[in-house]
Amino acid sequence: MIRIPLFVLTILMSFQLLAANTKGQYIQPSNLSPKVRIETSMGNVIIQLDRFRAKITVNNFLGYVTRGQYDKTLIHRVEEGYLIQAGGFMTNYTEIEPDEPIINESGNGLKNKEGTISMAKQLTDAHSATNQFFINLNDNSNLNPGSSWGYAVFGEVIEGYDILETMSQVEVGYSDDLGYPTVPKKMITIIRVVILDE
């Protein structure tokens, strides 16, 4: 019989617990509608996620949240009357290290309506969503699935939409650091994202 020293067993169990605590499927696993608070430099927004319709996407998002990977990051795209996008860059303009891309759940019945949150992806790759997300500022039917894959909605804003409306009106322009045309000229940051109690 092989005997494993107690301290080795304790270390192995600690690693397993750490892994479990950083994966979204272990965050409030029985809660089909977890809520998060996105604390920005312009105010707080609370989002209710839909794990029933978008399980893979919600668990992916919660994984980034619980590891603190959205903390001290940029809101890097603002288009008034269209969307606000974040989740990809630190405040020093370096990219957040993404996990593996996830399956696109855009066929879950949820639409890109005003106030919903969706995953960003590459235009030419349906299943390329990783860490970037956006909030719809309009009923963006062009982002729904049709003859091709759409963008997966996985929740909606339930508090603080007025903050987003104010944010949508900031002055934007081209950023040499990011190479994007609609970056806020005065930096808007996500201070942290907090998972709220059930």
* Residue-level pLDDT at 9: 45
Query: What pLDDT, on the 0 to 100 scale, is given for residue 22?
Result: 62
Instruction: Give the contacts of 98 (CB within 8 A, at least 6 positions apart).
Output: 130, 131
Contacts for 1 with CB less than 8 Å, ≥ 6 apart: none
Residue 189 domain-assigned (yes or no): yes
Asked whether residue 1 is assigned to any structural domain, the reply reads no
136 domain residue, yes or no = yes
pLDDT at 6: 54
Residue 129 lies in a domain: yes
Residue pair 131/90 in contact (Cβ under 8 Å)? The answer is no
Q: Give CA–CA dist 84/157, Å, rounded.
A: 13
Residue 73, domain CATH: 2.40.100.10
Do you know the residue count of the chain? 198
Residue 165 lies in a domain: yes
- Are 24 and 60 in contact by the 8 Å Cβ rule? The answer is yes
Domain count, the chain: 1
Query: Is residue 177 included in any domain, yes or no?
Result: yes
Range of the domain at 169: 6-195
Q: What is the pLDDT along the chain (198 residues), one digit of tens a residue?
A: 555 555 444 444 444 444 445 678 999 999 999 999 999 999 999 999 999 999 999 999 999 999 999 999 999 999 999 999 999 999 999 999 999 999 999 999 999 999 999 999 998 999 999 999 999 999 999 999 988 899 999 999 999 999 999 999 999 999 999 999 999 999 999 999 999 997
